[in-house]
Each structure stands twice: as C-alpha cells, then as structure tokens.
Amino acid sequence: MTFLAAAIQMAAKSDKSDNLVRAERLIRLAAARGANLVALPEMFNWRGKRSEESAAAESLEGESLALMARLARELQIHLVAGSITEQAPGNSRNYNTSVLFAPNGSRAAVYRKIHLFDVDLPGRVTVKESDAKAPGTEVVSAATSLGHVGLSICYDLRFPELFRRLTWAGAQIVTLPSAFTFPTGEAHWEALIRARAIENQVYMIAPAQFGPNVHGFSDYGNSMIVDPWGRVLARAADQEGVVVAPIDLEYQERVRREIPALQHARLRETPR
C-alpha cells in the first residue's frame, strides 16, 4: 500500500481561536494535496504563559478536538491532532495529549506524553514541563486502514525503548508532534529522527513548531518525514506550511526483509 502523509508546521501563540483557524486551513491544504494521513505539531491549539495553562486546558470533548474530529470526518482523512493540554480531573497537573482520529471522526487512539522535558541551560533556555504536566503511563498505537500507527510526542524522541515497544506492538508509522528548542533541535533533531526510523525500520512523521515563542526562546521547526531507510523524504522551510511525502508499506516490508534486524533482536524485555 502507498499513500501520502503530511506534516504540518506552525508557530502557535496564545490566541486559541486564531491557532485553530490556521490549523484548519493547513489541514485542508494537506488534504487538497492528497494526504490521507495528516499530523499537526505539539500544542497546535494553544501556547501561552504557564500561569494561563490550566485555563486553556480542554477535555477530549473540548472545542479543539471537536474541530479535529469534524475535519477528519469531512475530509475523510486520518488526522493526528498534534497535542493539546488535556484537563486531568482530580489532578493539579494536566496531560500533554495526542489524539489520532479516524476518517469517520472517531478517536482511534489517545496518547499522553510519557517523558516530560525539564531542562535548565543558564543564559539560554529553562523549561520545566513537569511543573504543569503529569506524565502518561501507556504506550499507544492503533491499527488503521493505512497501517499500524504509533504515537509519541517531542521529548519522547530521546528514549529509544519507547519506539522499540511501539515497533513490537506492530507500528509501521510513528508520529512525533514536537516543539523542539532551537539549540537541541539544531544538534539532535534530524539525527534522532533518522536513528529511530532506521533502528525500527518505520516511517517517522514529525510535525513541529518553529520560530520565537511566548516562552522566550525559539523552536527549531524543520518538520520532516523520514522513511525506514533513514532518508528524509520531506522537510519544511522556516515558515508555516505543509510538507507531503509518500508512505510505501511494500517498500518498508522490503527494507525489513533485506535487513532483518528486528527478527534478530534478542533483548526484547528489560531485565527485572
């Protein structure tokens, strides 16, 4: 099977309504270009001050995901709603949550980010995601009519065991909505995405935020789609937009057959 996938690049701000208008426009553009699987970046619907985050959080039935469900249904696409800040009733912290919608508008998978980004680089950038977010606990993937899709978010990229577990679960395609900082993105973004693609022989779809953000630093952008051989099939320029590339599952089967590393893996479980 061969189909087109799209990674959307955005520079989301604190005006949720405007973000949603732009996200819808870009989703429609991706669908018009023939994409059957479309993915938005991390926090596509709102990025603002930490003190305002709880007020901007939504449930899975909130306006942002309701719009995504409607667009998936109308455009008959599989849609990865990047991630949103999801309300966690009874918890002082929220979740960073990615949702995969099926073409009928139903939720095919819900993933809550497991690895939270806490870093302090004096004079450069300080981020402590765990101040406001609670970590998820479940590895999530879903069988779809396009193939098996695994879900991850941003900082997860640095934890190869997650991607191997997604592969053992059957993932052929892994989505990675992100907002990588510029210093870490410039150093490691492409290298890590290609590594995860190569070692698991999967397609990586990595939509990202770009440019200066409300937190006082810049996001790296460079949204990309990488094939199981590690080739970068598409890369976004430094602007808001859409990149599209073919997903060829027969080619993936050939890669896995010609280099059967997954069959030769012997350390499938973490020692207790």
List active site positions: 42, 113, 154
Q: Do residues 183 and 218 make contact, with C-beta atoms less than 8 angstroms apart?
A: no
| Distance from C-alpha of 241 to C-alpha of 243, rounded to nearest angstrom | 7
| Distance from C-alpha of 152 to C-alpha of 169, rounded to nearest angstrom | 14
**Element containing residue 74 per DSSP (H, E):** helix 63-75
Closest CA to 203 of 24, 39, 49, 31: 39
Q: Do residues 102 and 64 make contact, with C-beta atoms less than 8 angstroms apart?
A: no
Q: What sign results for the dihedral spanned by CA atoms 28, 32, 38, 40?
A: negative
| Distance from C-alpha of 109 to C-alpha of 68, rounded to nearest angstrom | 13
Which phi and psi angles does 127 have, rounded to 5°? -135, 130
